[in-house]
Structure formats: structure tokens, C-alpha cells
Structure 1
Amino acid sequence: MARHVRKGDNVIITAGNDRGKTGKILRVIVEEDRVVVEGINVRKKHLRRSEMNPQGGVIEKEMPIHLSNVSPVDNKGKATRVKFENKADGSKVRLAVSTGEQLGPELRKARK
């Protein structure tokens, strides 16, 4: 199934504790249908002392959230749904339903 978001997209969180916040997608975990968004769903992780980290300590880390809880942001800063369109030249693009603008680069290049 085609994903409505990709790495590097700006998204808005539509559900959960961080609802309404926006951020950039750092990673898409396809097997679990989850994404990691910069600055969203930040949790503290306690690290044990080790050779690499002799002091140990607490770090803050972005945790994954489900794909259904994010929506791409259009140029007005609002959440939008996504539709996929095959163009006459054979290319495939993602379009914002609200504005009709193209989201990101082509998914499939034009045929020669």
C-alpha cells in the first residue's frame, strides 16, 4: 500500500499527547507502519555506564508514532489528505487534496 508520508515531509500530529504540533519526519518504519518525527513523542531513556558512555545518564529520544496519527502539512500550515495521481507522461506524484499542490518529488519518473 502506498504511504501518504515520506522521510523529510513536514507533518502535523492529529492524535495523542502532541496533537497540533508539527515536525519533520526523520525515519519511516515500514514493517510497523510507524514514523519518527523530529521533536515529537520525546521520551527519557536511562543509560547504563559503558565503555562508550562512561558516565551513564539520561538521554531524550524521539519514539515512533503510528502513521495514522500524522498528516502532511500544506503551504498554509494546515493538515491535508493526500491523493496519488498518474500523469500522462507516466510519472506518479502525491498531491494535497486541499490545495492541489504537489507534495515532494515524483514517486515514479516519467517514461522516455
Structure 2
Amino acid sequence: MTKLKIKTGDTVKVMAGDHKGEEGKVVKIFRDKNRAIVEGVNMISKHAKPSAENPQGGIVKKEASLHISNLMLVENGTTTKVGYRMEGDKKVRFSKKSKEVL
């Protein structure tokens, strides 16, 4: 598996694809597929059968995953690349634009 620079809870901006320019918070990351689900972005309509939780059934709107390469971290309203560096004996994530630890 590759090291991902985006984590759950980060605010990201979509840089490519149909949803380019949209921002949201990362809800879940699928490390094996290099994909992430971003809150309120890439909404799809899914047909749901009636069940105990949803006795009516019908069409449900939900987020679909996006590839990690199409996402960029947002820090203080601007997008930034993410790097890693050693501070003492601890490895930390930092913003390449502002050089601040994330």
C-alpha cells in the first residue's frame, strides 16, 4: 500500500473531474483502492429496496468515492501540497505552502 497524504477529517478540494472546485470533509478513505468519500461531493442516486430502516424504499442520494489523486488539502482557504518531515524523533505532516505542521 502507498502512503496517503490525506486523512479522515481533512478538508479537501476536488481538483479534477465532474465535481472540480467543490470542497468538503473526508468521511472515509479506502486505502486498498486509493479512493475517498468526501461529504456532499459526487452525489449519486441509489435505488433502495424497502427494509426495516427504510420501509418505503425508493431513491436515496449518497456520496460516491473519488480517487485520491483528484483531491488536494485545503488549509486556511487555499489548497496546499502535503509533506512529511522529522521533528526530533517524531514524523509530522506539514503544509508545503506555509511550512506549518498540520
TM-score normalized with structure 1 length: 0.85
Match of 1:61 in 2: 62
How far apart in 1 are the matches of 2:94 and 2:52?
Answer: 49
Alignment length (residue pairs): 101
CA RMSD of aligned residues (A): 1.1
**1:4-60 superposed Cα distances (whole Å, 9 cap, x missing partner):** 100000001101111111100000000100000000000011112234422111110
TM-score normalized with structure 2 length: 0.93
Match of 1:110 in 2: none
State the structure with more CA Rg. Answer: 1
Find runs of 4+ consecutive structure 1 residues off by over 3 angstroms.
none
How far apart in 1 are the matches of 2:10 and 2:25?
Answer: 6
Q: Which has the higher contact order (CA 8 A, sep 6+)?
A: 2
Gaps of 5+ in 1: 104-112
Which has a greater percent of strand? 2
Q: How does 1:1-112 map to 2 (within 5 A)?
A: 1-75=2-76, 77-88=77-88, 90-103=89-102
